[in-house]
Amino acid sequence: MKKSILNLGKTLNKIEQKLINGGKYNCFTNDDCDFGCCNTANFCQTIGSPNSGGLPCKP
């Protein structure tokens, strides 16, 4: 069982590891987001989402 779990996917290099951000999508303007808006923490958020943290959207 342990071997099959360890063989899932590929090993990420240092650059690829730094790109992972917990599933959040980085943005700089609202146009960078496929959904919702770009908040002040530079992450796309769905408007009215309970997990948005209450951060305001960028104008």
Both structure tokens of 38 = 């770009």
State the pLDDT at residue 36. Answer: 83
Q: Which two tokens stand for residue 47?
A: 């408007």
Q: What integer pLDDT is reported at residue 48 of this predicted model?
A: 66
Give the per-residue pLDDT at 56. Answer: 84
Contact (CB, 8 A) for 56 and 39:
yes
Q: What is the pTM of this model?
A: 0.50
Residuewise pLDDT in 10s, the chain (59 residues):
677 777 777 887 777 776 666 667 788 998 988 878 888 888 888 876 655 566 888 87
Tokens coding 9: 């996917």
